[in-house]
Chains A and B, each alone.
Chain A
Amino acid sequence: MSRIIDKTAAELAADIRDGRLTSVEVTTAFLDRIDAVDGTVKAFLHVDRDGALATAREVDEAVARGEALGPLAGVPVAVKDVVVTKGMPTTAASKILEGWIPPYDATIVERIKAAKLPILGKTNMDEFAMGSSTEYSAYFKTVNPWDTGRIPGGSGGGSAAAVAAKMAPLAIGTDTGGSIRQPGAVTGTFGAKPTYGGNSRYGLIAFSSSLDTPGPVSRNALDGALLHEVISGHDPRDSTSIDAPVPPVVEAARLGATGDLSGVKLGVVKEFKEGADAAEPGVVAAYEAGLEQLVKLGAELVEVSCPSFAYALPTYYLIAPSEASSNLARYDGVRYGLRAGDDGKRSLEEVMSLTREAGFGPEVKRRIILGTYALSAGYVDAFYGKAQKVRTLIKQDFEKAFEQVDALVSPTTPFIAFEFGARTGDPYQMYLADLYTIPTNMYGGPGVSVPVGLSEGMPVGLQVMGPVLGDDITYRVAAALESTQDVLLADTAPEISAQRFTSFDEGGK
């Protein structure tokens, strides 16, 4: 591969450090790619060419001065629009924040800037990260680069599509119930939801505070690990941030890439294979072929039972909307963002109502109503309270499983990217996309999705779930799986002009 945009972030970083490429050349290549294909993909809500190139120039000057640089210095990154960026529009893909320019940076953005990664712009998503297809963006739909008639997953469809279409080598996502991993799976990219508290939430526009976790989106595990280490670590501004050493994910990804998994015990969750919770056959086939590869590398598969996982989805749809109903109360038109109906005659209450009526989309409203109901006097014990208890049971299932195994594996999502409109009519059908990813969020542990093969020509992801602060094992297993593939699935992403990519050897080698 000769093109700059085909290289991995690790390769680009080395090229910049060693003077083979300048950051300006690299950044320009991705900006040009955005110009060329984002009219079709529509992954970006905002592109910051000047800002990205300014950072790139700083890196090039530092290289010229012979300064020591961070491991990803000069490699551009795209940031999901739910992450607050100083001076750069941040909307969470909602009309209610249209035009809002944040006066501060999220902690992870500060760290990205300190590590000198040029920020290409902000990526599209489901409004306030609520959705699994990016169809609920208040601005426009993002397409799946593998098939422009299909969804790129969600909520972080923009970040995944940007990486899949090689408009960015790296992106930041956030994962509340699967919003990094499920888009990763359906776009053939790598995505990691780190341990809750491992990465700061300060400056993440809150959806569900006890679940939201920012993490990397990339073309392979090593790139993801490099970005993971840039953004990770304790943040005194986030009370839920864990004050512990960052798990050695880069080291783990390099170890995994050697292709040796001997001594690693992987748990296969029994309940995910049964009944209504089973994935569609093509997904199962690709996933099981992946498992075979892992066994060939020396991993031992153990069937584990996590009976409470069956309740994870309904539990999630009580806890997340409850927290969201409160987190989203601040959008009232008083201090920032949209204000509707303020004609000098209407009361404050009316203006607040009209603002929220006009500013929130249907899925956001649905979840605010759900959450308000679940917290209401007389219902709170039966809904929110009960859900918290089930959440504890789910955590216990994980803890018990990790007494037996090093990590759990599953398909990332039950189905391949679906066609636009296929699941918007029935919220529950949409919610099923996160069936396998939600338990990890309820538990708080890490989970990654790594491309494992194709089904009907569309990418399939394998999920690796680890114990709290055991992010390294998830990267190791993912990198090991990648080592079995001739080429990275992500590297074979189709040209946007060629609607479909067909040359991938289904099921791996």
Chain B
Amino acid sequence: MTKLNTFEQAVATYEPVLGLETHIELDTNTKMFCGCSTAFGAEPNTQVCPVCLALPGALPVANKAAVEATIKIGLALNCRIAEWTRFARKNYFYPDMPKNFQTSQYEEPLCEDGYVDVVVDGKAYRVEIERVHLEEDTGKTLHVGGTTGRIHGATESLVDYNRAGIPLVEIVTKPVPGTGALAPEVARAYTAELRDIVRSLGVSDVRMEQGSLRCDVNLSLNRPGEEWGTRTETKNVNSLRSVERAVRYEVRRQSALLDAGERIFQETRHFHETTGETSPGRSKEEATDYRYFPEPDLAVMEPSREWVEELRASLPELPRKRRERLQAAWSLGDKEMQSVVNADAVDLIEATVAAGATPSAAVKWWLGELSRRANESGEELAAMRITPAEVAELQGMVDDGRLNDKLARQVIDGVLAGEGSPSDVAAKRGLEVVSDTGALEAAVDEAIAANPAVADKIRGGTHAAAGVLIGAVMKATKGQADAGTVRQIILDKLG
């Protein structure tokens, strides 16, 4: 395998063209074509019926709530809503697909031609949406008996059809050229924005880690002025960070191949979370002919304009508007707000403020200490084991003088380690500012006795020298003293 280029090398020579296909599981109560529950996490094959198991004779009936949710997504993405739309069968054999065809949409999707605007590095990008269509999810196959959990080497394959038939919305962008070195960030920003829009609509919990939002990343490279290159489609990209990494990796991989004079194959690739690499899957050139045709078991849908306008009027505040409102409420500058958005911290900060923290404190924690730790561990901010309420509680303890910054960071250690709420951790670990003035005065006296020269300086009016004594007191109290209080005691004694 050719050695990878660095990302910088790659984007110096080639221009990436992005394309994103996103699947979103809707959180309707029932499945797309039957009355089975869609609840996550049930015992395998308990949420099934003749329809979603494709028993002989069973017929689908479209879920109106899912159609409504899809129209809402289309409207929020600035799409045109079809006046005449229908389902189509996508035929291919796979054991997790009970009918051996997926009921999807082909030539007549529910929504077409929209866009999503994102801002990266102060620059605005418009990602155009080609289509939004409605289809059904497949079951889940579990390969057992092998070492890798994949089909190779497995002795048995078990299928859970609980997921089969859950409504799935597919959102396909048009190709996105012109992002250059920012391609990974644009891909991430688009995915985050899409997720936030769908979440604001309340039609899906859009949890990437549970698979209710899944991304396929298409990427090709071309030299400036040349035609677009052959694209690869990377599947299994299941976090915002992975979206960014998958784009970055494909840019590096493809550029190295192109440099070596090799060609890019149009193929499906898989993203590996652990290594951040992609590996080839099924080649599209030998791919199945899906033999699409209109689904004869389902009636054509003609969403009335009245209904569409009703839905348009019912749309909630969309993320862009909400961000503008929050930015004003939190008194943040554009750059600062952009950092909050890029860190995916809007919801977290809003919830932290709602739990009682000041906006500035909430921003400080999430963008500072917690972002630093998320980066270290390679986690999403929201996936960390600390809740907005806990951050607010932590800040409350600081405000009350029960914790100083150093202690607060140790409390975070404990919370992230699963030791409980900030007050639990503080109690268990004995992390409290020493507020017993008697003990502090004794420690100050000791420090003065041990540093007579410094004490004289302070007596002489050089108050800055107090730092040495404060340091000694903090050391003696293992950091559990409030620096301000200690300073006051020292100045009271020597001033």
Interface bin, chain A: 35 or more
A170 → chain B closest CB, angstroms = 21
Which of these binds chain B: A204-212, A425-433, A480-488?
A204-212
Tell me if B55 counts as interface (CB < 8 A to partner A). yes
CA of A323 to CA of B294 in the docked complex: distance in angstroms? 10
Tell me if A97 counts as interface (CB < 8 A to partner B). yes
Contact residues in B for A148 (Cβ distance below 8 Å): none
Q: Are A202 and B56 in contact, with the CB atoms below 8 A? A: no
Interface flags, B46-69, vs A, CB<8A=1, else 0: 000010011111111110000000
Closest residue of B by beta carbon distance from A337: B56
Interface flags, B272-292, vs A, CB<8A=1, else 0: 000000000000000001011
B89 → chain A closest CB, angstroms = 5
Closest residue of A by beta carbon distance from B49: A104
Tell me if A87 counts as interface (CB < 8 A to partner B). no
Known: A326-B101, A329-B101. A205 touches B296 (CB 8 A): no
Tell me if A334 counts as interface (CB < 8 A to partner B). yes
CA of A201 to CA of B292 in the docked complex: distance in angstroms? 23
B54 touches which of A201, A236, A335, A375 (Cβ 8 Å): A335
**Which chain A residues in 134-162 approach chain B with CB under 8 Å?**
none
Q: Are A348 and B157 in contact, with the CB atoms below 8 A? A: yes
CA of A202 to CA of B61 in the docked complex: distance in angstroms? 11
CA of A100 to CA of B91 in the docked complex: distance in angstroms? 24
Tell me if A496 counts as interface (CB < 8 A to partner B). no
B62 touches which of A209, A239, A348 (Cβ 8 Å): A239
CA of A325 to CA of B57 in the docked complex: distance in angstroms? 15
A368 → chain B closest CB, angstroms = 11
Contact residues in B for A102 (Cβ distance below 8 Å): 55-57
Q: Are A204 and B159 in contact, with the CB atoms below 8 A? A: no
**Which chain A residues in 89-126 approach chain B with CB under 8 Å?**
90, 92, 97, 100, 102-104, 106
CA of A418 to CA of B93 in the docked complex: distance in angstroms? 39
Contact residues in A for B54 (Cβ distance below 8 Å): 330, 335
**Which chain A residues in 352-396 approach chain B with CB under 8 Å?**
352, 372, 375-377, 380, 384
Closest residue of B by beta carbon distance from A211: B296
Q: Are A376 and B291 in contact, with the CB atoms below 8 A? A: yes
CA of A377 to CA of B55 in the docked complex: distance in angstroms? 28
A364 → chain B closest CB, angstroms = 14
Q: Are A380 and B291 in contact, with the CB atoms below 8 A? A: yes
Q: Are A375 and B56 in contact, with the CB atoms below 8 A? A: no
Q: Are B157 and A377 in contact, with the CB atoms below 8 A? A: no
Q: Are B101 and A202 in contact, with the CB atoms below 8 A? A: no
Contact residues in B for A202 (Cβ distance below 8 Å): 57-59
CA of A209 to CA of B293 in the docked complex: distance in angstroms? 12
Tell me if B327 counts as interface (CB < 8 A to partner A). no
Tell me if B374 counts as interface (CB < 8 A to partner A). no
Q: Are A239 and B59 in contact, with the CB atoms below 8 A? A: yes
CA of A38 to CA of B101 in the docked complex: distance in angstroms? 40
Contact residues in B for A204 (Cβ distance below 8 Å): 57
Tell me if B396 counts as interface (CB < 8 A to partner A). no
Tell me if A84 counts as interface (CB < 8 A to partner B). yes
Q: Are B57 and A206 in contact, with the CB atoms below 8 A? A: yes
Q: Are A384 and B93 in contact, with the CB atoms below 8 A? A: no
Secondary structure type dominating chain B contacts: loop
Contact residues in A for B98 (Cβ distance below 8 Å): 330, 335
Contact residues in A for B4 (Cβ distance below 8 Å): none
B316 → chain A closest CB, angstroms = 31
- 4 tightest Cβ-Cβ pairs between the two chains A and B: A329-B100, A209-B296, A375-B291, A210-B296
CA of A201 to CA of B297 in the docked complex: distance in angstroms? 9
B293 touches which of A97, A240, A380 (Cβ 8 Å): A380
Known: A237-B59, A239-B298. A330 touches B291 (CB 8 A): no
Q: Are A201 and B59 in contact, with the CB atoms below 8 A? A: yes
Q: Are A239 and B297 in contact, with the CB atoms below 8 A? A: yes
Contact residues in B for A334 (Cβ distance below 8 Å): 95, 159
Closest residue of B by beta carbon distance from A200: B59
Q: Are A203 and B57 in contact, with the CB atoms below 8 A? A: yes
Closest residue of B by beta carbon distance from A235: B59
Q: Are B61 and A352 in contact, with the CB atoms below 8 A? A: no
Closest residue of B by beta carbon distance from A83: B57
Q: Are A84 and B56 in contact, with the CB atoms below 8 A? A: yes
Tell me if B439 counts as interface (CB < 8 A to partner A). no
Given A239-B60, A240-B299, 17 more A-B residue pairs with CB atoms under 8 Å apart are A84-B55, A102-B56, A103-B55, A104-B50, A106-B57, A206-B59, A209-B296, A237-B59, A238-B61, A239-B299, A323-B296, A348-B95, A349-B93, A372-B291, A375-B91, A375-B291, A377-B291
Contact residues in A for B292 (Cβ distance below 8 Å): 375, 380
Q: Are B95 and A330 in contact, with the CB atoms below 8 A? A: no
Tell me if A229 counts as interface (CB < 8 A to partner B). no
B410 → chain A closest CB, angstroms = 54
Closest residue of B by beta carbon distance from A100: B56
CA of A240 to CA of B150 in the docked complex: distance in angstroms? 41
CA of A84 to CA of B293 in the docked complex: distance in angstroms? 26
CB pairs A–B below 8 angstroms (18 shown) = A84-B57, A92-B56, A97-B56, A103-B50, A104-B55, A104-B58, A202-B58, A202-B59, A203-B57, A206-B57, A206-B59, A208-B296, A209-B296, A236-B61, A239-B297, A322-B293, A375-B91, A377-B291
Q: Are A336 and B299 in contact, with the CB atoms below 8 A? A: no
**Which chain A residues in 192-206 approach chain B with CB under 8 Å?**
201-206
B297 touches which of A240, A332, A349 (Cβ 8 Å): A240
A354 → chain B closest CB, angstroms = 13
CA of A430 to CA of B275 in the docked complex: distance in angstroms? 62
B179 → chain A closest CB, angstroms = 32
Tell me if B99 counts as interface (CB < 8 A to partner A). yes
CA of A322 to CA of B293 in the docked complex: distance in angstroms? 9
**Which chain B residues in 292-316 approach chain A with CB under 8 Å?**
292-293, 296-299
Q: Are B56 and A330 in contact, with the CB atoms below 8 A? A: yes
CA of A238 to CA of B58 in the docked complex: distance in angstroms? 9
Q: Are B91 and A336 in contact, with the CB atoms below 8 A? A: no
Contact residues in A for B95 (Cβ distance below 8 Å): 332, 334, 348
B431 → chain A closest CB, angstroms = 57
Q: Are A205 and B57 in contact, with the CB atoms below 8 A? A: yes
